[in-house]
Amino acid sequence: MNPESHFDLHALGRRACLDLENVFDQVDPGQLEVLAQEIVAARRIVCYGAGREGLMMQAIAMRLMHAGFQSYVVGEMVTPRIGRGDLFLASAGPGHFPTIETLLKVAREAGGRTVVVTAQPAQASEMPVDSLIYLPGQTMADVAAESSILTMGTHYETALLLFGDFLVLRLLELTNQKREDMYTRYTNMK
């Protein structure tokens, strides 16, 4: 290790947490409620995100399952055909991805509802979406601005993961569950 290094892990941690706090200071709590109601009303939830956003969406789908919802991820072998009464939930941080637009069209044509979480609502609103959730984190589209200490799209991706966990807390409340109930759905196939 370089003794001359001025790398301050504690300061970076505090700054990253402050950056994330700033995201949630800007989020309208009503948007969390909109998404929670969409999920409660859905028969099944199918999640999707590209790249690292996709990893966050996989984590959110898993937590939704732990909370007692039928949730799936696009591309998994067990993901059923989407249809009437289902919800397609996608993350499009930078606003628009051709793949997400195509999947939104498939979901809508099959009678499903569509929700997109994004940091760029103007671009995302051009896609066929029923509800947009604005999560104002720095994405790859914002690299020139670089408002966060976190690199590239990590700011948005981390905020997305936290938003998903806050969503699950609200869903537990709406469905009269305790956190402990989630453990009854945790895998025992280890």
Instruction: Give percent of the chain with pLDDT exceeding 90.
Output: 63
Position 31 pLDDT exceeds 80: yes
CB atoms within 10 A of CB 173: 11
User: How far is it, in rounded angstroms, from Cα 87 to Cα 30?
Assistant: 19
The structure's pTM equals 0.91
Mean pLDDT across 158-180:
94
| pLDDT value at 23 more than 80 | yes
| pLDDT score of 147 | 75
CB contact at 8 A, 43 and 110: no
On the question of pLDDT at 183 being above 90, the answer is no
Q: What domains does the chain contain, in order, with CATH numbers?
A: 26-176 (3.40.50.10490)
Tell the residue number behind the tokens 């300061």, with chain if given: 11
| Per-residue pLDDT, 181 | 85
